[in-house]
Every structure is written in structure tokens, then in C-alpha cells.
A = this chain, B = another copy of it.
């Protein structure tokens, strides 16, 4: 591909796990020209000193909208609340943005403010597109602002979308398990090796912030319900499994009918793998793939659906690149193994 066809891009907030992986994928991407990586911490250090395995030889700079905002596209990996104002500035300059924060995921500002904080840019919410490519491919293609989903919502919504669309989800318990990279780069008691090793426990009980995001999307798809969502921390680095226990609105639906819903939804999808054995995370490590298995508990009537992703890849950074590919009319899997 001729150099002239490359889009310039910057990753704002590249010192964290998600931003640095996005930088790596874009640095190696044939159609993007990664110009800048910025951060609050580690300014002046080369990214490949902090993350040698990413091999991105760029120096982290302090973000400066005048210096770094003159690009075609941006990935913003800022904390919730800090992201929206910066995204607004980028959009004002005509930059297409994929935002990794939660700031534009919730379509209802009141819900956002109930679960997070006062919203700094409520007027932008309406135009943001929820960046789950398998569900909203067309809208993403035309968007200038994409709200990249949370990692848990990515796995959960992909796992449940076929049931949600059929209006079949009367109730759902979602027991999620995540590797430690999901907790971020901050070194704390909770991410210390000795705390995590040989351990497993839930956290964010009973009100994890990904709950309203999951409920919103299930409702949009066709199943309005309140879910119980409970994440657990596991002694592994990357990988996320959601175990979804669904009480079906119509208990007479056959297992074969349920399976057909999944095949109809996903058989053509490059990054979805339907499997019959319970999905495991090792099979999707360092990929943009979501692996899904559907089971039926005949005794209780429940559907049990497992969704496995790599939280940093399909759950965050490679999904962001998938969205960027769509936004710029590129083949959807470019640069992410597709």
C-alpha cells in the first residue's frame, strides 16, 4: 500500500496496558502511521523500555493538543471523566476518535452520572457509536466518535446478543473472571504477585460499573432486564471469561432453536468462534477473537453461555483497531490477525 494512503494517528494515554498495546498494533499497522504516543507518567521514556515486548520505539510525550492534535485519528486511553473534554477538542479539530474510556458508552447521561460522575460533555453522547463491530458495523463505519466497549461488556454482549435479539433473556447472572492485566498497570496491594498468586476472589460486589453498560446493550438488542454481574480476579495475566446463566423468557424454546440463533448471528463473523466445549481463554490469548459456547441446563431450563476473550485485545485494544479499520474503510481485520 502506498505511503500516501496512510492515516496519521496518535495514542493518547499510551503508558498503560491498553494504550501501549493499541500503540503496538497501530505501529505495525499497514494503513496507519503512528505519529505520537503521550502519557502523564513516564514522559521522556521510550515505550519499548517500559514494554519491551511491544517493540514500539517512540518516546512518550506529555499530551499537547496543538502539537499532537494534527492527525487523522486518535485513540484516547484516559480515565473516565478526563477523556470526554479531550475527545471534544480532538473532534473540534476534525480528528476521528476511538475513546477507550466509559465516557461515551452509556447513551443515557443520567445513568452515566449515577454510576460514574458528572458528565463533562453530555452533548457529544448522542453522536457516539457503541463500538462493538459485530453488532454495529455500519454505524461505526460512518462515525467520527466511537465509544470502545468495556472488556466485560464486549464478552458478555457478544455472548448474549443472539438471545437478547430474540427477546429471550428474562434474567441473567453473569459471573466474570479476568486476568490481572484487567486491573491495570498500577502497582498496588491488589496487583502484587503475592496477593494474586494461588488466589481467586470477586471484586466490585455488588455494583460493578460495567453493569449498566451490559443492561443498556441487552435492552437495545431486545431484552430489557436487570442483570447480576460479578467479576472475579484470577492468577493469569491476560484473558477474560464470562459465564452467563440465562433464565429464558420462553422456556419452551428448544436447544436446537437456540443454537440456530447463534449460527445465524455469527457464522460469517471472522472474529467469533462458536464451539461446543465450554469456551476457554487460552485459545484466544493475544487475538481479536471471541470464543462462545452455548449449553442448556435441561433440569432448570437455563441457557448457559460462555464467552472468552483476551481482555487487552478483543476486550480493548484490538477491538479499537477493528473500529478504526471500519471508520477508515479498511478491511476490518487489518493489523489484528484478520
In the bound complex, CA of A148 to CA of B314 (Å): 35
A64 close to chain B: CB less than 8 A: no
Within 8 A of B (CB), among A248-299: 275, 277-287, 291, 295-299
User: Would you call A181 and B206 a contact (CB within 8 A)?
Assistant: no
Residues of B within 8 A of A187 (CB): 187-189, 191-192
User: Would you call B278 and A202 a contact (CB within 8 A)?
Assistant: yes
Residues of B within 8 A of A201 (CB): 241, 277-282, 306, 308
Tell me which of A103-111, A232-240, A324-332 binds B.
Answer: A232-240
Tell me which of A70-78, A85-93, A172-180 binds B.
Answer: A172-180
Nearest Cβ distance between residue A190 and chain B, in whole angstroms? 8
User: Would you call B228 and A300 a contact (CB within 8 A)?
Assistant: yes
Kindly identify which residue among B193, B298, B299, B302 contacts A197, using a CB–CB cutoff of 8 Å.
B193
A137 close to chain B: CB less than 8 A: no
Residues of B within 8 A of A241 (CB): 200-201, 232
Residues of B within 8 A of A237 (CB): 193-194, 197-198
In the bound complex, CA of A302 to CA of B236 (Å): 29
Interface centre among A194, A245, A282, A296 (most CB of B within 10 A): A194
* A295-B206 contact, Cβ under 8 Å, with A234-B234, A280-B201, A281-B198: yes
* A236-B192 contact, Cβ under 8 Å, with A205-B278, A206-B295: no
Residues of B within 8 A of A281 (CB): 198-201
Residues of B within 8 A of A32 (CB): none
Kindly identify which residue among B185, B203, B278 contacts A203, using a CB–CB cutoff of 8 Å.
B278
Interface pairs (29), CB distance under 8 Å: A53-B282, A173-B245, A173-B302, A177-B177, A180-B193, A180-B194, A185-B189, A187-B192, A197-B236, A198-B239, A200-B234, A200-B236, A201-B281, A201-B282, A202-B278, A202-B304, A202-B306, A205-B278, A205-B295, A206-B298, A207-B299, A226-B299, A226-B300, A228-B297, A228-B300, A228-B302, A232-B241, A232-B243, A235-B235
Given contacts A52-B283, A198-B237, A201-B308, 9 further A-B contacts (CB under 8 A): A173-B175, A191-B192, A192-B192, A193-B196, A203-B278, A206-B302, A228-B302, A232-B241, A234-B235
